Amino acid sequence: MESTKEYIERDYIVEEGKYEKDGLFSGLLVAYADHLVASPASPFLSEKVVAYTRSLGQKIFALCLLDLPFQAVTPALDSNGRQLTIKSSSNALVFYKQF
């Protein structure tokens, strides 16, 4: 007689704390929860959003939490020597790279 095979979900057992190491249940979510408690009517923005760029899913999740407009607004740019000032009439997210 053939022995019985048992199939179980082992992902959470094998790598305990797997998701906590990636910061999926901390960092941005904690900052978002704190924001909802403190001032839910104001727009949410956190410096922790840049940590959520490892995968497309993390990027989309982070963008869903931010209060960014659906239509892009062209910002006003003012350069003075090596200084650049960006003024936007709505919420915006700016990434820059220094050479």
Is 24 part of a structural domain of the chain? yes
Is 93 part of a structural domain of the chain? no
Is 94 part of a structural domain of the chain? no
pTM of the model: 0.56
Is 6 part of a structural domain of the chain? no
Round to whole Å and give the CA distance between 60 and 51.
13
Count how many domains the chain has: 1
What is the residue-level pLDDT of the chain in tens, covering all 99 positions?
Answer: 777 777 666 554 444 555 555 555 567 888 888 999 999 888 888 888 877 777 788 888 888 888 888 888 899 999 999 898 999 998 888 877 777
Is 29 part of a structural domain of the chain? yes
> Which pLDDT does position 38 carry in this prediction?
93
Is 39 part of a structural domain of the chain? yes
Domain limits for position 57: 11-87
Burial (CB < 10 A; 0-12, 13-18, 19+), residue 14, is exposed
